[in-house]
Chains A and B, each alone.
Chain A
Amino acid sequence: MPKVDCGKLCPEWPCEQPDEFKNVWVITEASEEGVSEASLQMLTPALEIAGKLGSKVVGVLIGYNVERHAETLIRHGADEVIVVDSEDLKEYYPEVYGQVVVDLARKYKPEVILIAATMRGREMGPYIANTLRAGITADCTDFDVDEKTRDVLLIRPPFAAIMLAYIKTPFRRPQIGTARPNVFPVPPADDTRKGEIIRETVQVRKTRTRLVSRTILKREEIPIEKAEIIVSGGKGLGGPEGFKLLEELASILGGVVAGSRKAVDAGWISHERQVGQTGKSVKPILYIAVGISGAAQHMIGVREATRIVAINIDPEAPIFNQADYGVIGDYKEIVESLIEELKKLKEAGPEAVDELIKEYTIQEAAVQQG
């Protein structure tokens, strides 16, 4: 590992050598109910990086009444969990939680810190990094390790995922990144796994901020850029009533509705729900495009969707070339059937899925592989 020449460093920074740092940390978001899914997903890249570095994965659990969730982190792959459980941490304030992580990091010197890029993670991450005078890379979708220098390459897609930038911080540790939710799976749980739980008490910093109120959003109010399932409509819906049908489908799927620019221009849906170059970029697990032709300016906004389903009456519609699963036909009947089938499945329970899958295997159905 290269040595850092302290004389070249900014005197505002502590001078530390990279080899003083060890282990890969995952800072988790937890409430009394449990550890967030997005935080558990971070264990996947953490395990991969730790494997390449030959180091441990350490979960960091901060909050009030959260200690019992340490086991969850161990089951999903953490070797150790550092717990800071205090009534003073009942409410989250970015600089208060951030300072707790800073104090722990000064004591333990982790080599890598990963944080889920939820809205809170994106808020807290840069505070932690800056206070440690370390670099940070936002919204990573992948990681790699240069095993010679032990530099982690933090890979992020600026410019609507057209570009991939590989970022490293060769002379600063810890190496810090926030990573996109729903890019990595949650590592499978292993109930036999054992790990160490370290209870830490830290001086919780006072803040001048006070939470006045918190109201949970209704499903349909969730902004499209944060939604995991989106049912999106275009000009092909033919009118505003088409969106009522899409809203019904979105409601069963726990998703939200969005639209193309033509649907927005027609006044069928509000402009905050426009997807595309002049609208928003979305990153759902599932994007169902209904009556949308697939213009480049629309599709740039869905590059980061994990899967795209297209329903369109025109077999030549360009969207079929840019979707994962396409169905040719009139949207109204198909969406109505989808709603009906989903209701039946919901009623019948998860066992009914097997039957459905038996009926259609991916290979048989692939009449037109493109």
Chain B
Amino acid sequence: MRIVVGIKWVPNTQAVRFDPKTGTLIRTGVPAIVNPHDLPAAELALRLRDEYGGEVIVLTMAPPPAVQGLEHILGMGADKAVLLTDRAFAGADTLATSYVIAEGIRKIEREIGKVDLAVFGQETIDSSTAHIGAQVASWLGWPYIYYVKNAKMVNGALRVERQLENAVETFDVGLPAVVSVAMKALKARPVRLSHKLRVKLEKPIIVWSNKDLGLDPRCVGLKGSPTIVSKVTYLPEVPRRKIVYKPKDPRDAARWILAQLFQDEKTREALHKALWG
């Protein structure tokens, strides 16, 4: 099977610090990484290829430095990579991003061959919208499923297991399809030196600009994005009640806590539900 994995090259938000004085995020000098939630997605794709044959193509829409992210997934063992890059793609929201990704997948189908599965991470650490998987499915008209923990082929369909808030579900998904892989679902394999050497020798990275995709400039980047960020504010500290109690004895402590929680309109209902349904 031919599997496309979408990844994003993102600032490492763990290294982004918050400056309480200015109330802004300090992003300078923050290194970029492959979005951590895309690694389980790549791992799932590689496992499926290892089991059933075929190839894994890693794809990103991004400025050129994201090649490093593609190289990381190639280093894990992906077969090919596609970089969709163009000034015209800048400033895209998720609708415009997913459009370019979907068109990239269509071009892969035209030039390389039929795609059976597109795999995405659940969300990115820099925006956490979890939009792209569903949007790509919408553009392509493919079925899709989120929060996938593992997958295997059963009678020609992809059998996936996923977990919701309160249930575990198993689906058979007819291909081609889109799946988004749950965060931390699988441990990603390490990058191997032999793969990295192959990347150096074979340069399996295809670069397509908007000229190659031939998309109307009104449909991509900022122009193709319905959403606009009109303002950003910062919340340095969450307001808390900060009521501290020194109890006479443990029973007093317990009863005091419960009295507060039952008087507090934010928690009262949850406690009622827990105790008396």
- By a beta-carbon cutoff of 8 Å, the part of chain A in contact with chain B is 8-12, 93-95, 98, 118-120, 122-127, 129-131, 133-139, 153, 157-159, 161-172, 207-217, 222-223, 226, 228-229, 252-255, 272, 277-278, 285-286, 303, 306-309, 311, 315, 320-330, 333-334, 336-338, 340-342, 345-346, 349-350, 353, 356-357, 359-362, 365-370
Contacts and interface: CB of A to CB of B under 8 A. Distances in A.
B128 A158 contact: yes
Contact of B225 (A122, A135, A159): A135
Interface of B: 13-14, 16, 18, 25, 93-95, 98-99, 126-135, 137-139, 143-147, 157, 159, 163-175, 177, 184, 216, 218-219, 223-236, 238, 240-247, 250-251, 253-264, 266-267, 270-276
B14 A223 contact: no
B164 to A, nearest CB: 5
Given A95-B144, A127-B138, A153-B230, A345 B238 contact: no
A359 to B, nearest CB: 6
8 contacts: A9-B218, A95-B143, A134-B226, A212-B159, A217-B167, A272-B184, A337-B251, A341-B255
Interface of A is mostly: mixed
Contacts of A368: 243-246
A75 B270 CA distance: 21
Nearest to B131: A126
A303 to B, nearest CB: 5
A162 B257 CA distance: 28
Given A222-B166, A307-B264, A329-B250, A357 B173 contact: no
Contact of B174 (A98, A133, A208, A357): A208
B242 A323 contact: yes
A336 B250 contact: yes
Contacts of B93: 135
Nearest to B270: A285
Contacts of B130: 122-123, 126, 138
Contacts, number: 322
Contacts of A127: 134-135, 137-138, 144
Closest 9 CB pairs of A and B: A208-B174, A135-B226, A370-B242, A360-B259, A337-B254, A10-B219, A135-B227, A333-B250, A172-B226
A153 B93 CA distance: 16
B261 A309 contact: yes
A360 B259 CA distance: 6
A94 B267 contact: no
Contact of A164 (B95, B227, B232, B262): B232
A165 B129 CA distance: 13
Given A122-B130, A138-B131, A337-B251, A162 B258 contact: no
Given A130-B139, A360-B256, A334 B240 contact: no
B266 A328 contact: no
Given A307-B264, A326-B243, A326-B244, 17 more contacts: A123-B134, A127-B137, A130-B139, A139-B129, A163-B234, A166-B233, A168-B230, A171-B226, A208-B174, A208-B177, A209-B145, A209-B177, A216-B166, A223-B163, A353-B262, A367-B245, A367-B246
A309 B146 contact: no
Contact of A357 (B13, B262, B271): B262
B222 to A, nearest CB: 12
B229 A167 contact: yes
A74 B13 CA distance: 43
Contacts of A137: 227
Contact of A213 (B128, B164, B169, B256): B169
Nearest to A223: B163
Contacts of B256: 327, 360, 365
Contact of A209 (B173, B230, B241, B261): B173
Contacts of B230: 153, 166-168
Contact of A168 (B165, B227, B238): B227
Contacts of A308: 240
Contacts of B131: 126, 129-130, 136, 138
A126 B99 contact: no
Contacts of A323: 240-242
A306 B266 contact: yes
A130 B135 contact: yes
A226 B165 contact: yes
A131 B138 contact: yes
Nearest to B274: A254
Instruction: Give the interface centre of B232, B250, B273 by most chain A CB atoms within 10 Å.
Output: B250
B241 to A, nearest CB: 4
Contacts of A161: 235, 238
Given A166-B232, A342-B258, A349-B276, A285 B243 contact: no
Contacts of A131: 138
A148 to B, nearest CB: 13
B243 A307 contact: no
A11 B139 CA distance: 14
Given A119-B165, A130-B135, A334-B250, A170 B228 contact: yes
B96 to A, nearest CB: 8
Contact of B170 (A212, A216, A286): A212
Nearest to B272: A350
Contacts of B266: 285, 306-307
Contact of A162 (B18, B168, B225, B274): B18
B274 A341 contact: no
Nearest to A161: B235
Nearest to A366: B243
B259 A365 contact: yes
A95 B137 contact: yes
B270 A130 contact: no
Contact of B228 (A168, A209, A337, A369): A168
A356 B262 contact: yes
B218 A217 contact: no
A129 B218 CA distance: 18
B242 A326 contact: yes
